Amino acid sequence: MKRIYALFMASILTVSLAGCSTGSKTVSGTFSGTAKGMGDVTVTITLKDDVITDVQAVGENETDGIGSAAIEKLPPEMVSGNTINVDTVTGATITSEAIISAASAALEAAGKDPKDYQTKASASAAEDTEETADIVIVGAGGAGMTAAITAVNAGSSVIVVESQAMVGGNSARSTGGLNAAGTEAQQQNTFDEAAGVEKTLASAADKYADNETITALAAKVKDQWDAYQSNPSGYFDSVELMELDTMIGGKGINNPELVQTLCANSSDAIDWLASINANLTSVSSFGGASVKRIHRPVNAEGKTVAVGSYLIPILEKTLSDAGVQVMLNTTADSILVDDKGNAVGITAKGADGQTVTIHASAVILATGGFGANLDMVAELKPELKGFMTTNAPGAQGQGIVMAEAVGAGVVDMDQIQIHPTVQFDSAALITEGLRGDGAILVNAEGKRFIDEVGTRDVVSAAEIAQTGSYSWLIIDQKMVDASSVIQGYISKGYTISGETAEELAAAINVDSASLAETLKTWNAAVAAESDPEFNRTSFAEPLDTAPYYAIKVTAGVHHTMGGLTISPNTEVLNTEGNVIPGLYAAGEITGGVHGANRLGGNAVTDFVVFGRIAGTNASAYVK
């Protein structure tokens, strides 16, 4: 009887081991493991006789367009190679490593040794290829995808090449929004514009009296403002005021024609995005803007979300629906020109080292800037040596080098922007929108030290001058409840919290009395809409709802304002100022739009406005 019972129990154990550890026995079944990425990443592996037949990865907190690309890319590679020894996705290293670790844990749950699944899948020899299209676009960030969608809609055939394993580039990392003047969303709100407009006009008169462009813009804005005050109707903003803000933000060295093009087409950029179901309806403050002008997306709960992770998937889907060929892991290395000097295609290197040649009647460069190439940054601006960067890994400046090789001119190459709110430990970008929505910056002594919505260069310089060259960004629960972006920062471990100002001060090691007094003074300034200490003119809600949160931030390389010289039609100009036929450029690869300092919110405007212009004009050139 005991023997029969033992045999019965053994049979049950054998059946259950399809999903349990079985030592050295051949295993079939489904097993899961979890590892920490930006949040928890769970990988489920299906084995059949020890062979990986399926891999599924899930990570709800991984960044859209970045970590999600690794979740999409790595599991099929594990299946095809029967291995967990796969290359991480550049730019999504944290998520990639979490997937690999979780896969290892799943194999251990199966009773298998992960070391047995470390054989690197051998890449088959790839042959050189040639392709032909009307237009080839180099770079699949915001500018490149916008240009591609516009060109296809104009009737052109398009091929897009992208050096990284995912689309998006720096655009995917954008957390703020899109600056636009005179939009319907602005008109649907009522804000107090007076203090900001008057401050800008005073700055123009005081600091830029010798700049003819700024003086002329200021005169137009003053006339518009006087007329508005005599007969207020709706919300006050104008193309000229946006131009004035952009020129002042750029220290007056911007190309006025490019600035005018940017601002005059900004409202239409909002409408175009809406036409592809990308709606930016929340309007708020951002550094350097006289009025509330930055347009941001909201989720189904009405909470603001990061603009990059919102827009990039929509642009990618629109591109896919249009049938555009996108060649990932394909790095362009030269521009082809004919004997007349016309751009007629590119060469590139594929993922397996093969040469890819694309013949085209026009080339659009949208490779971004060089903010991830810290050697290039330090060479052009030595004082930035050793700074961290917020840039995507693909921002290496290779598009600029390629264009220079065929005679393109460059401008403002030493104008490199640092951003004041980069998370101290991870180099993650913390959106300027928090400051626009009412957050403040305090130093190691618990005191404010600057107008938080000043231009990025001014705020960064003030922050660097503080003890330790860092600051704490202070927010409250009311702000958390209104923003899924902040909730994401909390889930990623960027925040420290306290139930009171004093408790938060103790947690971040600043003087409790100083921080409490700072919050009291600030909340009084919000109530009075007057900031005698630092002359801030943008106010939102007071910071008065516990618990309170702090994010440790410092300055990091964020944007390169310099790049290729272009016309307002996005034609690339040579070193003598003449058009290089068939060669266009849009986005951060170009120079002249932002001058010495880019205003937050203008980069997204830049890639939509000039991406559309590039796609339209390249198509017209082809035809």
| Predicted confidence (pLDDT) per residue in 442-499, tens digit | 999 999 999 999 888 899 999 999 999 999 999 999 999 999 889 989 988 999 999 9
DSSP codes joined into one string, 145-204: HHHHHHHHHTT--EEEE-SSSSSBGGGGG--S-EE-SS-HHHHTS----HHHHHHHHHHH
Whole-number pLDDT of residue 15:
34
pLDDT band at 581 (very low <50, low <70, confident <90, very high): very high
Nearest partner of 461 among 563, 587, 596, 593, judged by Cα: 596
The rounded distance, in Å, linking the Cα atoms of 72 and 486 is: 25
Residue among 293, 456, 598, 612 flagged as catalytic: 456
Strands 331-337 and 343-349: antiparallel
The residue-averaged pLDDT of 193-221 equals: 95
Whole-number pLDDT of residue 16:
33
Considering only the top CATH level, what class is 418-556?
Answer: alpha beta
Buried b (16+ CB within 10 A) or exposed e, 306-340: bbbbbbbbbbbebbeeeebebbbbbbbeebbbeee
Do the beta carbons of residue 139 and residue 569 sit within 8 Å?
A: no
Tokens matching residue 36: 């920490």
The residue-averaged pLDDT of 317-327 equals: 96
Domain boundaries, given as residue ranges, for the chain: 23-113, 128-176+307-380+392-409+566-623, 179-305, 418-556
Secondary structure letter of residue 119 according to DSSP: P
The rounded distance, in Å, linking the Cα atoms of 104 and 109 is: 9
Place of tokens 């207020």: 232
Terminal Cα distance for the chain, rounded? 89
What does pLDDT average to over the chain?
92
Whole-number pLDDT of residue 24:
59
437-446, 451-460, 600-609, range with the lowest pLDDT: 451-460
Active site residue 296: no
pLDDT band at 426 (very low <50, low <70, confident <90, very high): confident
Assigned fold of 23-113:
Sufe protein. Chain: A (3.90.1010)
* 393 phi/psi in degrees, rounded to 5: -60, -25
The residue-averaged pLDDT of 282-311 equals: 93
pLDDT band at 2 (very low <50, low <70, confident <90, very high): very low
Please indicate whether the domains covering 23-113 and 418-556 agree at the CATH topology level: no
Tokens matching residue 345: 């295609």
Whole-number pLDDT of residue 6:
40
Whole-number pLDDT of residue 17:
35
Tokens matching residue 19: 């999903």
Nearest partner of 457 among 260, 270, 594, 295, judged by Cα: 594
Give the pTM.
Answer: 0.83
Assigned fold of 128-176+307-380+392-409+566-623:
FAD/NAD(P)-binding domain (3.50.50)
Torsion of CA 244, 287, 458, 590, to 10 degrees: -60
Tokens matching residue 297: 């997306």
pLDDT band at 123 (very low <50, low <70, confident <90, very high): low
The rounded distance, in Å, linking the Cα atoms of 562 and 404 is: 13
Q: How far is CA 269 from CA 235, 276, 400, 610, in A?
A: 19, 11, 26, 10
Strands 416-423 and 158-161: unpaired
The rounded distance, in Å, linking the Cα atoms of 192 and 181 is: 16
